[in-house]
Amino acid sequence: DPVASYMTFDEYGRPFIILREQAEKEQISGLEVIKSHILAAKAITSIMKSSLGPKSLDKAMVSPDGDLIITNDGATILGKMDVDHAIAKLLVELSECQDIGVGDGTTGVVVLAGALLEEVEQLIEKGIHPIRIADGFELAAHFCIKHLEFISEEIAVEKNREFLKYTAMTSLRSKVVSKCNDKFAEMAVDAVLKVSNMENNLVDLERIKLDGKPGGSLEDTMLVNGVIIDQPLCHPHMDKELLKAAIAVVSCGMEMPKPNQMKAYLELASVESYNETKEYEKEVYESMIKKLEEIGANFVVCQAGIDDPATHLLLQSNTGGVRYVSEKEIELISTASGAHVVARFSDLTPEKLGFVGSVREIGLGMDNRMTVFEDCINSSVVTILIRGGNSLIIEEAKRSLNDALSIVKNLVMENRIVYGGGSCELSCSIAISKEADKISSLEQYAFRAFADALESIPMVLAENCGYSPIHTVTEIKSRQIVENNPYLGIDCMQMGTSDMKKQQVIETFRGKKQQILLAMQVVKQILKIDEVRTTDKNYG
């Protein structure tokens, strides 16, 4: 075989290596390949099932070097899973794709793909050619999306803030933050609206900074309309709140070069020379203070340190200051306040100043103090400071919040919603089944199979709540038909109604549509691989 290695492109245009030419190669082909791939995929999807929905379970993942994360986020679970089977990797990518495109629904998309693959197994048993199945699924998916659009609703985002909130709540409900769902959803909406431009539906999530600080509880999490710096004011007697601050931002500090940093030492022979150096230091600090006064700054942000004598001088001149501010925070503060960062005090001019409505120091208990810059001139930077018992909770809360932020962003950009709890999947399933009756060709089977796969979403949701999946879904399905109500789904939270519209369990149309298309595409891709050459004897 002259081909050394063989590369193809998948449906997203990314390179994908199937063949590896090496001395001893194993070869399986035809239906065997597809069957073995389905087996591998099922192993993964069955792990993901228990993470779907508001009553789902978290996964603890331990990395080879012992780091622990606890999460319910599909993309994170798959991303951290140590998989080396090609098909498993495909599913990992599937989840990532959903994450990048939409930010939510990363578990659902994998569960749906798994359900489709299970259906494929049965169709192949019936003797239907994989390519026919693939084509049939594609038709079914497009039909499905048409129906989804039909049962979706358009909302006027500006007037319906609560819709944004309910959608964020639907996503947060299955996460570690579900206890303070309301508060987190509210913060997500506030944050996104702050960084949105309603006229052209643009949302810049980059301007939302998620910070975490262990200690306190999730309820203490706060949204700040500006930037938080993880440092206290440099002198405890400085004003704890300064209104209308004009701030100078410097990448240096107010300190003398330290001998130990210079790998040199200073020898002082007399008291006079000691006093002389002290005098010199004082002059240097005074010239810095004078500069600040000259340009009208009443607050200084330093990337490096501020020595004690300098803090006293700042205090005397009624100027506030923070020191040891990280480079990233320096950048944020300069974006938010409009300040230009300079490297030396002598470079400061009035034009380089930034302006913020207030600077205050907040205490988080146990000597933990931070400085908050709010109502900045460029007001569209916001920070969410997440509190929680330990860093694992904070990291998971960050992931959950990120999902919620993406969802709200999606809604601001495309204001179409569908109802969750498996209701829209069930409604699509019913519509596709009905359509299948009209098809006289073999595609009829693919349509039915697609409809059955969609049913797996409410099934899994019901199962994760401890209900009998078959009984629950059968009942809801017949009610959907009899009552002609596409909003009936699984009452996971036992609210006493299965109507997801009444329960306000909302998902974005964009996210749901993406789930269906991506799941269909990955299944098609698997169906089209009919030959694998590998040196891995355990393949399949």
Residues with catalytic function: 73, 106-107, 403
Contact between 461 and ligand ADP by CB under 6 A: the answer reads yes
Stretch that binds ligand ADP, among 113-121, 204-212, 293-301, 484-492 (CB under 6 A): 484-492
Stretch that binds ligand ADP, among 11-19, 31-39, 106-114, 248-256 (CB under 6 A): 106-114
φ/ψ region of 296 (left if φ > 0, alpha if ψ in -120 to 50, else beta) reads left
Of 211 and 425, the one with the shorter C-beta distance to ligand ADP is: 425
- Identify the three-state secondary structure at position 151: helix
* Beta strands 341-342; 226-229: pairing state: unpaired
Of 383 and 498, the one with the shorter C-beta distance to ligand ADP is: 498
Query: Of 59, 173, 477, 501, which one interacts with ligand ADP (CB under 6 A)?
Result: 173
Contact between 486 and ligand ADP by CB under 6 A: the answer reads no
Contact between 472 and ligand ADP by CB under 6 A: the answer reads no
Query: Of 493, 528, 534, 540, which one interacts with ligand ADP (CB under 6 A)?
Result: 493
Of 51 and 456, the one with the shorter C-beta distance to ligand ADP is: 51
Percentage helix, strand, coil, to 5, in the chain?
Answer: 50, 20, 30
Contact between 174 and ligand ADP by CB under 6 A: the answer reads yes
Look up residue 153 and give its two tokens: 């609703």
Strand pairing partners for 531? Answer: 29
Of 78 and 382, the one with the shorter C-beta distance to ligand ADP is: 78
Give how far Cα 274 sits from Cα of 259, 278, 284, 306, 510, Å: 15, 6, 16, 21, 71
Give how far Cα 479 sits from Cα of 328, 452, 487, Å: 55, 17, 10
Contact between 147 and ligand ADP by CB under 6 A: the answer reads no
Contact between 103 and ligand ADP by CB under 6 A: the answer reads no
Query: Of 33, 38, 40, 52, which one interacts with ligand ADP (CB under 6 A)?
Result: 52
DSSP codes, 355-412: EEEEEEEEE-STT-EEEEEEEESS---EEEEEEESSHHHHHHHHHHHHHHHHHHHHHH
Stretch that binds ligand ADP, among 17-25, 130-138, 171-179, 254-262 (CB under 6 A): 171-179
Q: Rg of the chain over CA atoms, in angstroms? A: 30
Query: Of 16, 37, 91, 108, which one interacts with ligand ADP (CB under 6 A)?
Result: 108
Residue 377: half-sphere exposure toward Cβ, Cα within 13 Å: 14
CA distance 331 to 206: 13
Q: How far is the CB of 405 from ligand ADP (least distance, A)?
A: 14
Would you tell me the crossing angle of helices 130-151 and 509-527 to the nearest 10 degrees?
180
Of 103 and 320, the one with the shorter C-beta distance to ligand ADP is: 103
Look up residue 465 and give its two tokens: 């709540």
* Closest by Cα among 416, 464, 383 to 148: 416
Contact between 105 and ligand ADP by CB under 6 A: the answer reads yes
Contact between 102 and ligand ADP by CB under 6 A: the answer reads no
Site string for ligand ADP, 368-407 (x = CB under 6 A): ----------------------------------------
Edge-to-edge order in the sheet of strand 26-29:
5-9, 15-20, 531-534, 26-29
Q: How far is the CB of 500 from ligand ADP (least distance, A)?
A: 7
Instruction: Using CB under 6 A, list all residues that contact ligand ADP.
Output: 51-54, 56, 72, 74, 104-108, 170-171, 173-174, 420-422, 457, 461, 489-490, 492-493, 505, 507
